[in-house]
Amino acid sequence: MKIVAGNSNRPLADAISQYLKLPPARSQVKRFADMEVFVEIQENVRGQDVFVIQSTSFPANDNMMELLILIDALKRSSARRITAVLPYYGYARQDRKPGPRTPISAKLVANLIERAGADRVLTVDLHAGQIQGFFDIPTDNLFAAPVMVRDIEDQYGTENLVVVSPDVGGVVRARALAKRIDVPIAICDKRRERPGESEVMNVIGDVEGKRCILIDDIVDSGGTIVNAADALLEKGATEVVCYVTHGVLSGGAVSRIQNSRLKALVITDSILPTAAVQAARNIRVLSIAPLLGEAILRTSREESVSSLFY
């Protein structure tokens, strides 16, 4: 087995390698003067089971090209099997046609990864589960929920707790988390006026006097969770903590979170945290390196990965 790391999230790749007690394979990923990507695998991978670790986060297109070229280099180096490990799957929010003459970019990305030569895909908390069906190769969609559950129990306990979905679309995710810790759920009814902006209109469920755990897969501008926190506190919640798998946090999101009434935003390191995220007083980062490391180990050994979901 070999681990090959792209440049998108080196600290996570190093943490996975430490978990596996396996140093990353020597490789060079650099840019020419015109920003073309150049890759060289600097050790023998012939006949090896290779795992390429690369989040396709910002800059999404650069990181995507790195991933594709790494896969191509490994394919041409006679690797036996190549697994694309994507802690964060970019373009996942473009999973359907929201209007006429629009693309389904999540499907296009799946096609690119397959055509580059990947034999398997391993990712975490896809924005929509049906994206697995965009691939014609085995695809494992891991969940960060077990990592979050342990942190919730350690940091906050489960007494007087309610899990809240920030919108109707996230109810399945919220219900699954609530079932794990045996607490009730509530839902924020959200009306989005335009992309990137949202307005919470109502709260469905009893949150008065409760400690609320908001749960979502992606936080980008931060507007949804900030508005949801305000609505919950106005309905009598005592405090609001938000758990999100992928901290995209673009634009002024970090400042918006810091100035909000959220007690804390807890994200994973599926995307490399920026300096602003690391310095924020109410943003905390959980590592999913053990989760991904164990999934990689089991995949290499042809063992069950589904038991990691529970």
Distance CA 78, CA 47 (A): 6
Catalytic status, residue 21: no
Distance of CA 49 to the CA centre of its chain: 24
| 260 marked as part of a ligand binding site | no
Closest CA to 309 of 110, 38, 124: 124
| 114 marked as part of a ligand binding site | no
| 303 marked as part of a ligand binding site | no
| 94 marked as part of a ligand binding site | yes
| 18 marked as part of a ligand binding site | no
| 140 marked as part of a ligand binding site | no
Would you say 30 and 7 are in contact if contact means Cβ atoms under 8 Å apart?
Answer: no
CB within 8 Å of 179: residues ≥ 6 apart: none
Distance CA 294, CA 20 (A): 8
| 150 marked as part of a ligand binding site | no
Distance CA 51, CA 62 (A): 19
Distance CA 41, CA 50 (A): 12
| 221 marked as part of a ligand binding site | yes
| 14 marked as part of a ligand binding site | no
Q: Which of 30, 190, 210, 235 is catalytic?
A: 190
| 180 marked as part of a ligand binding site | no
Instruction: Name the phi and psi angles at 37, rounded to 5.
Output: -90, 135
Instruction: Name the phi and psi angles at 134, rounded to 5.
Output: -75, -20
| 223 marked as part of a ligand binding site | yes
Name the binding residues for Mg(2+): 127, 167
Residues belonging to the active site: 190
Name the binding residues for ATP: 34-36, 93-94
Name the binding residues: 34-36, 93-94, 127, 167, 192, 216, 220-224
